[in-house]
Structure 1
Amino acid sequence: MSELATMARPYAAAVFKRAKETGSAEQWSETLAFMSSVLGSEEISTVIDNPKISKKSLLQLMQDICQSYAEGEAGNFLKLLVANGRLNLLPSITELFEAFKADEEGYVDVEVCTAYELSEEAKQAFSEKLEITLSKKIHMNVTLDPSLIGGVLVRAGDRVIDGSIRGQLQHMQKSLQ
């Protein structure tokens, strides 16, 4: 994954710079998300990986599927990716673009895993504490993972806060060995 991210970073940075210049970050966000979801299809990924499919045919296929999402600058970007054989980088480009956008807008996407369902009040209180801890506004996505036994596991970018009982037991096990 890190190799893909390394190759995708210049493309994502260029798209983000252009989106900032034109004030079209939301539009680019939607476009990249749509194109990435198209590539997530098993049928399309099979076509992309087929060396017998010409770049021209591949570009036409993607333009037909993406239609209004592949117009103007987005269409040129799609042509560039196909011409350079980098269409497979689109999901990584999308992820990096969203990270650049979040950083620019002063928020961070946070994944919170809990052992039990949180009430709305608990989510709100936890969200406020995380904003203070991370010094940014957050967009929180909460999932359930009963294997945590209790507590929470928080992922914010490359930062992980493990307050789960499972994590504490694993730490204790390592300490005893």
Structure 2
Amino acid sequence: MSEIATLARPYAVAAYKRAKETASTAQWSETLAFLSAVMKDERIAQAADNPKVKKEQFTAAFLDLCAGHLNGESENFVKVLVANGRLDLIHSIAEQFEYYRAEEEGYLDVEVCSAYPLEDGEHAKLVTVLQTELGKQPRLHVRVDESLIGGVLIKAGDRVIDASVRGQVQRLATRLYN
């Protein structure tokens, strides 16, 4: 996994630097997210990795598929990735780009899994608590996971806060069996 991150890093850094130079970080974020979504299609990923497919043909077909979603710079970025056989790294490139953007803009993307949908007051309180705890402005991405039974599971960068009933039951079971 770290090998993929290492390979993707120079591309993410280059994309982020260019986005900063042109004041287009939001546009680059959308473009990289789009490219990442396109590459999740198994057929496209297989075609990108197929040594029998000529790079020029694949590039032309890929850019046709993405027509209307890419500008000139992002098309050139795709061409460089295909030429270097690195299009499969686009998901990691997009993740690292978002990390650099978050660091620069002073926010942190936080994934919150809740057993139930959060009410507005709960959402606001969670933002306040996380901002104090993490020292950055959290951007919450909330999803419901009923298997948690109750409570929340929070992932912020490399930190995980398991305040779910399921997590408490698992920890209790571990202590009882050890």
Q: TM-score, normalised by structure 1?
A: 0.92
Deviation per residue, 1:88-130 (Å, 9 max, x gap): 0011101111111111111111111112222111111112111
Equivalence for 1:11: 11
**1:67 match: secondary structure:** coil
- Stretches of 4+ aligned residues off by more than 6 angstroms: none
**1:163 match: secondary structure:** strand
Quote the Cα distance in structure 2 between the aligned partners of 1:147 and 1:40.
26
Deviation per residue, 1:44-75 (Å, 9 max, x gap): 12321322111111111122122344443222
**Letter matched to residue 104 of structure 2:** E
> What is the aligned residue count?
177
Shift of 1:2: 2.9
Deviation per residue, 1:110-152 (Å, 9 max, x gap): 1111122221111111121111111111111111222222211
Equivalence for 2:89: 89
* Aligned Cα root-mean-square deviation (Å): 1.6
Equivalence for 2:35: 35
Segment of structure 1 superposing worse, 97-106 or 67-76: 67-76
Equivalence for 2:167: 167
Equivalence for 2:54: 54
Equivalence for 1:142: 142
Q: TM-score, normalised by structure 2?
A: 0.91
Q: In the alignment, does 2:102 pair up with 1:105?
A: no
Unaligned runs of 5+ in 1: none
Shift of 1:5: 1.7
Quote the Cα distance in structure 2 between the aligned partners of 1:126 and 1:71.
38
Distance of aligned partners of 1:115 and 1:61 in 2 relative to their CA distance in 1, 3 Å threshold:
same
Quote the Cα distance in structure 2 between the aligned partners of 1:71 and 1:144.
36
Q: Taking every aligned residue pair, what percent have the same amino acid on both sides? A: 53
Q: In the alignment, does 2:124 pair up with 1:121?
A: no
**Letter matched to residue 103 of structure 1:** E
Equivalence for 2:133: 133
